Amino acid sequence: MYKTLIKPLLFLMPAERAHYFTASIMRSVFTWPIFRNVLKSLYSKESPDLRKELFGLSFKNPVGLAAGFDKNAELFHMMDVLGFGFVEVGTVTPRPQGGNPQPRLFRLPKDEGLINRMGFNNGGVEAMKKRLQKKSRNLIVGVNIGKNKDTPLEKAVDDYVYCFEQLFDEADYFVVNVSSPNTPNLRALQDKEPLKNILSAICAINYKKQSPKPLLLKIAPDLSEGQLDDIIEISQDLKLDGLIATNTTISRDGLNTSSDRIEEIGNGGLSGKPVKRRSTEVIRYIHEKSKGAIRIIGVGGIQKGEDAKEKLEAGASLVQVYSGFVYEGPGMVKRILNELLN
């Protein structure tokens, strides 16, 4: 029903408006326990064979919702009903910010991809903290943290540390995001020295805690092998819990969408099917180079069970979806889980 009726109607709306419309409908539906129960029976899949133990956490299944869909932690409690094994909220910044001017989210139906230049639009740490305090203990929720647009790069570490400290009690794990292409110069923080400074500062605080939280780094698919080698070295030196591979790409190679349309859309990070191959290459490179020592959450172009299996076989321990959820609908997670079981 999603692909034949709901999706065509949603795709008549601008992409960002469709997202907020869908979120509004979900919030309305989830106020009724009877509808929650019906949706859970339709879309959830429970099996001991799907469980994963990782980072000291117990995941009911290996398929999670990637950061970006639930930026303000407003929908995470609904995703358990739709079958997700875990949810990553954010990216959150210390202070609220509106993000980049609209339009800033675009569909590429011919490529089953999305281009976004949202720019970390979010309500800030304080608003997220209040919402996460109400989360169920049964759902694993990671928090993806970033810096405010107007924070100078040389002070970026302060923003990451602030988000980490303020949300420490609410998050099950943290992800440092220095790989979005939509905040000016943010990707410069992936260079060896600034990246090491940010991660070292967070690790120093984390290791002093009685129960440290798993800390991961989200990386871009556009890194060279030399840059990946630096990240592997830093990850091992600082004993990071893992990497998320990968964020969106700035590449536009091999698209079926016309070059005129791509030029009209302009800048932004490309996700979905077009990034599938490269994200798998990055996962495989990290896994082989680290001899399997680095845990990886794989994301990029996952729509079916075979896509998830490809990431897992390349070296990922868990996977996340976002664009595939837009194109495949709420039944996607259960279909992927059934395929993985079979």
Residue keyed to tokens 């949706």? 39
Beta strands in 8-139, from DSSP E residues, in sequence order: 52-54, 57-59, 63-65, 86-92, 105-108, 113-116
- Identify whether 211 is a catalytic site residue: no
The whole-angstrom separation of Cα 219 and Cα 217 is 6
CB atoms inside a 10 Å sphere around CB 232: 17
Residue keyed to tokens 């990386």? 219
Angle between helices 332-341 and 33-43 (to 10 degrees): 40
Given a contact cutoff of 8 angstroms between Cβ atoms, the answer to whether 231 and 190 are in contact is: yes
Alpha-helical regions (H) of 87-191 = 125-132, 156-167
Taking the chain, what is the end-to-end CA distance rounded to the nearest angstrom? 24
User: Which listed residue (47, 58, 180, 251) is catalytic?
Assistant: 180
Beta carbons within 8 Å of 4's beta carbon, 6+ residues apart: none
Beta carbons within 8 Å of 36's beta carbon, 6+ residues apart: 29, 30, 81
Element (H, E) at 299: strand 296-299
State the catalytic residues: 180
